[in-house]
Amino acid sequence: MAKKPLLEFTDRGIYCAKGKFYIDPWKPVDDAVITHAHADHAYIGHKHYLAHHLSKQVLLYRLGDIQLQTVEYGESVMKNGVEVTLYPAGHVIGSAQIRVAYQGEVWVVSGDYKTEDDGVSTPFEPVKCHHFISECTFGMPVYQWKPQAQIFDDVNNWWRGNVSNGVATVIVGYSLGKSQRILQNLDLSIGKVYTHGVIENTNEALRRNGIILNPTERITQDTPKEDIRKGIVIAPPSSVGTPWMRKFGPYSFGYCSGWMAIRGAKRRRAADRGFVLSDHADWDGLVSAIDATGCECVYLTHGYTASFTRYLNEIGFNAREVHTLYGDDEGEEAAPTQPPPEGEEFTEAGNNNQKVSPKGGDLEGADAS
Amino acid sequence: MKAFAQLFLSLDETNKTNEKVKVLKHYFNSVPDTDKMHMLALFTGRKPKRQINATQIRTWATEITNIPVWLFEESYHVVGDLAETMALLMPQNTDSSSNKTLTDWIGELNELGNKTEDERKLWLIESWEMLDTQERFVFNKLLTGSFRVGVSQNLVVKALADITKLDAATLTHRIMGNWLPETYTYDQLTQEQGASDDISRPYPFFLAYPIQETSEKQKSADELKTALGDAHEWQAEWKWDGIRAQLIKRDGKIFIWSRGEDLATDKFPELHPFLNALPNGTVLDGEILSFQNGLPMPFNVLQTRIGRKNLSKKILEDSPVALIAYDCLEYAGEDIRSKTQSQRREILEQLQAATPFPEIFRISALIPFSSWDELAIIREDSRAMIAEGIMLKRKSATYQVGRRRGDWWKWKIDPLSVDAVMIYAQKGHGRRADLYTDYTFAVWDGDKLVPFAKAYSGLTDAEINKVDHFIKRNTLEKFGPVRTVKPELVFEIGFEGINRSTRHKSGIALRFPRILRWRHDKPKEEADTLDNLRALLGD
């Protein structure tokens, strides 16, 4: 009888039968190991959660009263004889790769990761293994990131320019991860940082967790518009185009995402500025990370899985495409599973409800009559 | 080139019209005059001649990027723009070492015509090495000749008008027609008195605004009265569905321009005799249609000869064309666009009455009507007239520039429509890159779904995202860039006309198909049938 693999892909998530636990399951299970606190990896409804210490407060904020055990990177937990160890994934604060070992066989589940040190999350560490389960959100060679210092120079210059033109500055990024990365890299000599409630809630959770973040001020109805105009607003993707954002007008709005690498994607989001800043590995990052594991087999869970799998096989890896429910769009943030606190102007309205003209952009001519 | 690449980048960095104009002015003020004219040519759709074919450019670019050909192709589908794909895939180069101007680059590009293939390849690879990513992108745009920049000609003209203190209509006219940036100088373009004596130059077209924005919001006769006032102040004509054209006779020479500013004189030899018979200094505006036995034929008949390089005898016999003239813009060598609609109409009627070719030089008949109610009833006959609806022109209107509200309106009839099932999907381009936005629709023929139309417009961005999500999770098969999708989603498809076709599996061809709405309420079993479509053929 063929030996059953240590980890298998089920309709609930990645499962370890030997250890009787799941990794990032999307349906309720008894025992869940969580790579990080983003909504498509940390679902509500499991009986027991295991995650990194630094994910604790955010998980409690997002999922409510859950039974949560947290550990340090490198610290092992035994589950029915199977050794589970967390290693830094560099994706967001508290994000982890999950190393699963049993009788000399080692599997690693990457969760989401990036290889660049963002100065906020614990940097990614390659972990040797036999089987590596990897994301490939940006698994196409057109995605090549520039060093973040360069991107933040652009961000700060843009902000400075807006202040001198008397225009408010709104920068958009995912509330856990991107927002803190932005916050910690802004040039605070330019002005003050204001936050949307959803982001400030996440910041507060992180501060409760002992993370030291730059000072921020939550925007309320009483925050004077003139003050906001001299500062910068950090807002989540879901707030784009809402009345909440429009009231800052006139404003310039910048979108931070890996998708901004492509002009079409940027134009679609109608951002004034697109900053190519991602919490996922770029093409070279993915290939080098996979190579560094020395794995016999790599499984691609989400992103451009088909093309990336084919490419890896052509260059000599043993790669397989796997179907999961993990998101592949870092622009579309799922709403938190808890309603926002009272009085907060969070709306879920979509950002792009205008009709698309038959031929697209304004250059491409009006209709053909 | 640095300035030109920066122009592109700055235009991309704002969505605000005023900012764009500012960026354009900054560009005009900072580059040599020859660069200004090249930029103007590119931004008004006058692309440089392709000196290297696209396959070679792709092949050489793929060699540099060090990835397999299939991955290059898939990257292209993700990016949706070839020039950008190549720029993104090449090894990053943050230092640009080239100080050549746009004029220099286009000059070098044009000289490639005389070079060998090896020399071209060498030139191309050396050029790529000299440029940074953004410059490469713009450079690749020059090479591939697809220059859509997200800025309308109106904005460019506005920036230029601000700088030169000339009015926008004059400038719009001066950049019409057939000119080359190598020979048309900035001084000629901007001198106070237009000394340009290009006899082929057309006038900017005056375009009508739709009187109703969407088919759901029908305008009643009463609303027309409120909006447009007294019916007696207006003239009405059928709205013909052909090729809008401007026809010129000057100094014994004739020119036929399409709305897209393509010189199409050779495409319509049937029109030459009547044009040659016109007095010198005449410019007409009208619609070119296929006619048979004195009756206009549906657009698809005309379509068979559009785009043909050689007009065979058979085509000329099957689809003979004539002009339905609407307007006269120049008479006896004088620009008469500032005369009223009625005055111009009178001149047009005189010209037409004098032609020895009345079967070819036709005139758009005025529809007699005395009230909006009466016209609303006449409009119901549009389809029988092979017309798209009715055109309304204010009798006192001058002939204006571009699409304007106020004096010319088009009052189209409702599109025909059927409910259809989406069965194939393909990724879009430009701002729809990497999203499934181009769909093929089918109707039932017994228990089979037969594809009958492709459409890629009419949904909101939010709807597109939902459909894209559905497609990615309900793909049955992949054929290159096309996905076969689980038949489930039903859409109402609107179209302007329907005709028999031997080229399509369904046996029918539609004119201007587009999505009217997503029928969440309809299961796929309740979509329309091929018989329902055939019934619309009306024969």
Tens of pLDDT, residue by residue over A328-341, are 444 433 333 333 33
Contact criterion met (CB < 8 Å) for A350 and B462: yes
Give yes or no: residues A297 and A266 share one domain: no
Most confident of A8-12, A129-133, A325-329: A129-133
The whole-angstrom distance between A263's CA and the closest CA on chain B is 7
Distance CA A88, CA A243 (A): 39
> Which of A262, A355, A356 has its CB closest to that of B433?
A262
Number of domains in chain A: 2
Give yes or no: residues A16 and A94 share one domain: yes
Mean pLDDT of chain B: 89
Q: For residue B66, what pLDDT is reported?
A: 86
Give yes or no: residues A254 and A239 share one domain: yes
Contact criterion met (CB < 8 Å) for A364 and B81: no
Distance CA A324, CA B460 (A): 28
Contact criterion met (CB < 8 Å) for B13 and A272: yes
Distance CA B410, CA B398 (A): 17
Average pLDDT over residues A54-67: 95
Does residue A362 carry a pLDDT above 70? no
Q: What is the pLDDT of residues A237-269, one digit of tens each?
A: 989 888 999 899 899 999 999 999 998 888 777
Q: What is the CATH number of the domain that holds A45?
A: 3.60.15.10
Question: In terms of C-beta density within 10 A (0-12 exposed, 13-18 middle, 19 or more buried), how is residue B46 classed?
Answer: middle
| Partners of residue B13 in chain A, C-beta under 8 Å | 272-273
Give yes or no: residues A12 and A138 share one domain: yes
Cβ partners under 8 Å of residue B124, min gap 6: B52, B57, B60, B143
Distance CA B470, CA A233 (A): 34
Angle at which helices B133-144 and B102-111 pack, to 10 degrees? 40
Cβ partners under 8 Å of residue A27, min gap 6: A11, A12, A13, A43, A45
User: In terms of pLDDT, which residue wins out, B334 or B80?
Assistant: B334
Give yes or no: residues A295 and A251 share one domain: no
Closest CA to A328 of A198, A139, A173, A114: A139
Average pLDDT over residues B182-196: 81
Contact criterion met (CB < 8 Å) for B75 and A366: no
Does residue B151 carry a pLDDT above 50? yes
In this structure, is residue A311 part of a structural domain?
A: yes
Q: What is the pLDDT of residues B452-461, one digit of tens each?
A: 999 987 888 8
Domain positions in chain B: 2-144, 206-412, 416-535
Q: For residue A339, what pLDDT is reported?
A: 30
CB-hemisphere CA count at 13 Å for A306? Answer: 8
In this structure, is residue A3 part of a structural domain?
A: no
The whole-angstrom distance between B80's CA and the closest CA on chain A is 7
% of chain A residues with pLDDT over 70? 88
Starting at the edge strand that comes first in sequence, how are the strands of the sheet with B387-394 ordered?
Answer: B209-210, B408-412, B387-394, B234-240
Give yes or no: residues A249 and A292 share one domain: no
Structure tokens at A229: 């105009």
Contact criterion met (CB < 8 Å) for A268 and B79: no
Q: What is the pLDDT of residues B233-260, one digit of tens each?
A: 999 999 998 999 999 999 999 999 988 7
In this structure, is residue A335 part of a structural domain?
A: no
Average pLDDT over residues A35-45: 94
Q: For residue B305, what pLDDT is reported?
A: 81
Q: Which SS3 state, helix, strand or coil, does residue A323 take?
A: coil
Closest CA to A332 of A38, A96, A131, A65: A38
Average pLDDT over residues A114-123: 96
Question: In terms of C-beta density within 10 A (0-12 exposed, 13-18 middle, 19 or more buried), how is residue B198 classed?
Answer: middle
% of chain B residues with pLDDT over 70? 97
Q: Is A358 on the interface with B (CB under 8 A)?
A: yes
Does residue B228 carry a pLDDT above 70? yes
User: In terms of pLDDT, which residue wins out, A340 or A63?
Assistant: A63
Contact criterion met (CB < 8 Å) for A361 and B431: yes
Contact criterion met (CB < 8 Å) for A356 and B88: no
Q: For residue B506, what pLDDT is reported?
A: 86
Distance CA B152, CA B148 (A): 9
Which is it for strands B475-479 and B482-485: parallel, antiparallel or unpaired? antiparallel
Domain boundary among A220, A244, A275: A275
Give yes or no: residues A13 and A136 share one domain: yes
B206-412, which class in CATH? alpha beta
| Partners of residue B150 in chain A, C-beta under 8 Å | 267, 361-363
- CATH code of the region B416-535: 2.40.50.140
Lowest mean pLDDT among A188-202, A310-324, B495-509, B512-526: B495-509
Count residue pairs from A and B with Cβ separation < 8 A. Answer: 123
Question: Sign of torsion, CA B298 B301 B303 B309?
Answer: negative
Q: What is the pLDDT of residues A273-286, one digit of tens each?
A: 999 999 999 999 99
Average pLDDT over residues B330-358: 96
Average pLDDT over residues B31-40: 95
Contact criterion met (CB < 8 Å) for B431 and A360: yes
Does residue A355 carry a pLDDT above 50? no
Does residue A361 carry a pLDDT above 60? no
| Partners of residue A162 in chain B, C-beta under 8 Å | none
Q: For residue B194, what pLDDT is reported?
A: 61
Give yes or no: residues A201 and A249 share one domain: yes
Q: For residue B149, what pLDDT is reported?
A: 72
Give yes or no: residues A167 and A51 share one domain: no
In this structure, is residue A362 part of a structural domain?
A: no
Cβ partners under 8 Å of residue A42, min gap 6: A24, A34, A36, A49, A51, A55, A59, A62, A63
Cβ partners under 8 Å of residue A246, min gap 6: none
In this structure, is residue A53 part of a structural domain?
A: yes
Q: Using an 8 Å Cβ cutoff, are A78 and A57 in contact? A: no
> Which of B67, B79, B514 has its CB closest to that of A358?
B514
Structure tokens at B422: 């989406």
Give yes or no: residues A134 and A159 share one domain: no
Give yes or no: residues A262 and A292 share one domain: no
Give yes or no: residues A103 and A123 share one domain: yes
Note the pTM of the prediction, 2 decimals: 0.78
Contact criterion met (CB < 8 Å) for A264 and B459: no
Q: Using an 8 Å Cβ cutoff, are B119 and B60 in contact? A: no
Q: Which residue of B has its CA nearest to A139?
A: B75
> Which of B81, B88, B148 has its CB closest to that of A363?
B148
Q: For residue B169, what pLDDT is reported?
A: 83
Contact criterion met (CB < 8 Å) for A262 and B84: yes
Does residue B106 carry a pLDDT above 90? yes
Q: Using an 8 Å Cβ cutoff, are A212 and A202 in contact? A: no
Q: Is A81 on the interface with B (CB under 8 A)?
A: no
Distance CA A44, CA A337 (A): 8
| Partners of residue A267 in chain B, C-beta under 8 Å | 12, 150, 430-431
% of chain A residues with pLDDT over 90? 75
Q: For residue A272, what pLDDT is reported?
A: 85
Q: Is A2 on the interface with B (CB under 8 A)?
A: no
The whole-angstrom distance between B86's CA and the closest CA on chain A is 9
Written as one string, the DSSP assignment of A236-249 is: -GGGTTSHHHHTT-
* Domain ranges, residue A186: 148-275
- Residue A63 is given by DSSP the state H
Average pLDDT over residues A210-214: 96
Q: For residue A329, what pLDDT is reported?
A: 40
Structure tokens at A92: 């967001």
- CATH code of the region B2-144: 1.10.3260.10
Q: Which residue of B has its CA nearest to A154?
A: B13
| Partners of residue A366 in chain B, C-beta under 8 Å | 207, 403
Lowest mean pLDDT among A323-327, A349-353, B471-475, B483-487: A349-353
Q: Which SS3 state, helix, strand or coil, does residue B172 take?
A: helix
